[in-house]
Amino acid sequence: MLKRKQNAVLVFKLKLKFLRVDTGVKTTANIFRRLTVEMQIKFNAQQLCQNV
């Protein structure tokens, strides 16, 4: 019984670790995406200024 409980705790900890890694990857991707969008907007603004 005790062994089973320990295994459940281990599995839970593993899942938590994977979840944390997953959310970390997602937030990094979101930040990167936001940065690229901002860079594109700045670049477009510069192009517009040069054209005028």
pLDDT tens-digit readout, 14-47: 888 888 888 888 999 999 999 999 999 999 988 8
Find where tokens 């599995």 sit: 11
User: Residue 2 pLDDT > 70, yes or no?
Assistant: yes
pTM of the model: 0.51
What tokens appear for 34 in the block?
Answer: 């936001």
CA distances from 28 to 10, 25, 36 (A): 27, 5, 12
pLDDT at 17: 87
Amino acid at site 4: R
| pLDDT grade for 50, boundaries at 50, 70 and 90 | confident
